Amino acid sequence: MEPSQERLEKRRREDSGPIDGSEAEHSAPITRSTTVWYKDGNIVIQAGRVQFRFYKGILARSSTPFSDLFELPQPAGEPEVEDCPVLVIHDQPEDIEVMLQSLVDDSYDTRFPVSYKTVYSTIRMAHKYDMPTLRSKAIARLTMEFPDTLEGWDARAKGGGYARIGDVETTDALFALISLAHRYEIRRILPAAYYKCCSKMPELLKAAEPTVDIEKCVPFSALESCFKGREILLESHVEANYSILEGLARPQGNVPDCMSRSDSCYTSWRNHGHEEGLWKSGREVKGLDMWEQWPLVLHLCETCRHYTEECLTHSRERTWENLPQYFDLGTWDDLKNRNY
């Protein structure tokens, strides 16, 4: 044995322990799923050391690969469990459990929240086994959280669109779902997803040990786009606020019939703007905040409040329209016209 080979053999013996991973897996007992084992099922799916009893018909209707597979004659002497043929597939048991439950369980409908890991598994399995209906349901859930219209964004922000992905605001979920969108070409959710990351950038950067490995999970280009887009959003937000400030100024302002004495509306917007950190670097991105989310307007007279509401509404509409371009994603039409 050559020295290099000898060292490799020694390293392998030291690292492997009494049995290696494959031997350990095959020595583990086979167990039945506690969630997917239907007594009237007619096929047993085995993933790893876990078996699931399910229905051929549902799998065949949902997936072309499964449909084609079930058309093949079953060789004699193949293993069976309770008179059901056993189909061994090389996937993680957790992914198969999510896939099968999604096909029959109403709790996986978009009306009910699930974890981001469930969404990730659903997309991955739907892609692998060509399940367009399952994929469409998962994408519908994603677009509810990351809308491609301002109306959808507002509905989600107002609480009328409650969370369909329960942990979507976490660091791990945001980065994992961005990675998912890149990997499976679900790009229409990226502008809203990037925006969420930008508005949480300080938290994301300070996350000491995120579960998701950022460098491996998210393309570097995505991280770069988030940083670039955040700077543009901050700059445009400051410009919008300065524009409102100029409009409130007297006598050259845009509100000649201001109901306050002297220039108190102008002063209030300027002073409270400083208190709210509108002009500070490192603040949160607020370009898509609705008018109701601005406490500053409470310090204005009715006339100036109406003027400010119109300005903020137009500003956020422009921000939304340009959001994909801020992140180098093209236009909304480009994203919506892509097949996925």
pLDDT tens digits for 26-50? 668 999 999 999 999 999 999 999 9
Give yes or no for a contact between 254 and 247, defined as CB atoms under 8 angstroms apart. yes
More confident residue, 315 or 12: 315
* Sign of the alpha-carbon torsion through 99, 103, 106, 111: positive
Q: Quick one: pLDDT at residue 289?
A: 84
pLDDT at 168 over 80: yes
- CA dihedral 11→15→18→20, nearest 10 degrees, is -100
**Once rounded to an integer, what is the mean pLDDT over residues 59-64?**
96
Give yes or no for a contact between 165 and 316, defined as CB atoms under 8 angstroms apart. no
pLDDT at 121 over 50: yes
* Predicted confidence (pLDDT) per residue in 254-309, tens digit: 566 777 766 678 887 777 766 666 655 556 788 888 877 777 777 788 888 888 88
pTM (predicted TM-score): 0.81
Q: Quick one: pLDDT at residue 261?
A: 64
- CA 155 vs CA 114, 147, 158, 175, 182: distances in Å: 19, 10, 5, 23, 25
Q: Quick one: pLDDT at residue 192?
A: 95
**Once rounded to an integer, what is the mean pLDDT over residues 123-134?**
95
Main-chain phi, psi angles of 207, to 5 degrees: -60, 115
∠ Cα 47 51 55 (to 5°): 100
**How many CB atoms sit inside 10 A of residue 336's CB?**
12
- Helix 190-199 with 302-326: angle, nearest 10 deg: 120
Main-chain phi, psi angles of 268, to 5 degrees: -60, -45
